[in-house]
Amino acid sequence: MSHRILLLGAPGAGKGTQSAKLADEYGVEHVTTGDALRANKDMETEYGTPRSFMEAGDLVPDPVVNEIVRAALEEADGFVLDGYPRNLDQAEYLSEITDLDAVVFLDVDEEVLVERLTGRRVCDDCGANYHVDFQPPEEAGVCDGCGGELIQREDDTEETARERLQVFYDNTEPVVEHFRDEGVLVEVDGEATPDEVFDRIRDVVEA
């Protein structure tokens, strides 16, 4: 049985981690908006190609994103969708083009999200990711793999983290309400360990 799963949650909620685990568990595609756009940069739509917007530094318009996602879902024998829909129009479009087996919202308190987002450190040389609390390096500030310096990216500061969360609340809360109104949304406590969160999501998918 192929599964069609939508995972929703704020930045830092753990969508990427859980999506990858779900895709591996059920042998389905992990579909993200970014990957789908990069894989189909030259796909012709009536609004132009994604490449034309990306190279200009512009946001790819909803109708183009919608077509890219639809193509990705049609090609997949089951999927975990992560990072889409980002607004109500996209959510309504998604409901028109596919029947979802499970819609899971990872519920995490804002202060926990900020802690997760601001604790990330990235190796300036090889790009490896760490977290000061959840995945610290053996030696503080030094990459285990290559010995490079670990830095905090500009988009991982507290100010930027809170701005990202506000954008999520403004744009994506209506998405959550859309699926809640449809009676398909299940909220899962995202503050437990990754394994515990995964077990709870799996229970929802297999219910």
Which position among 4, 21, 116, 164 bears the catalytic label? 164
Q: Measured between alpha carbons, how far is 86 from 169 in angstroms, rounded to an integer?
A: 10
Pick the catalytic residue: 4, 21, 116, 120? 120
Helices 88-97 and 62-75, interaxial angle, to 10°? Answer: 30
Cα–Cα distance for residue pair 203/74, rounded to 1 Å: 26
Cα 160 from Cα 53, distance rounded (Å) = 24
Contact 95, 28 (CB under 8 A): no
From 15, 116, 121, 200, active-site residue: 15
List residues forming the annotated binding site for Zn(2+).
123, 126, 143, 146
**Could you confirm whether 21 is annotated as catalytic?**
no
Q: Is 121 a catalytic residue?
A: no
Residues of the binding site for ATP: 12-17, 120, 192
Residue 12 has a CB neighbour count (10 Å cut-off) of 24
CB 205 within 8 A of CB 22: yes
Give catalytic status of residue 153 as yes or no.
Answer: yes
Catalytic residue among 41, 51, 70, 86: 86
DSSP states along 10-40: -TTSSHHHHHHHHHHHHT-EEEEHHHHHHHT
Per the annotation, binding residues for AMP are 33, 38, 58-60, 83-86, 90, 153, 164
Residues forming the annotated binding site? Answer: 12-17, 33, 38, 58-60, 83-86, 90, 120, 123, 126, 143, 146, 153, 164, 192
How far is Cα 125 from Cα 135, in angstroms, rounded to an integer? 18
Concerning whether 4 is annotated as a catalytic residue, the answer is no
Label residue 12 left, alpha or beta by phi (over 0 means left) and psi (-120 to 50 means alpha): left
Catalytic residue positions? 15, 86, 120, 153, 164
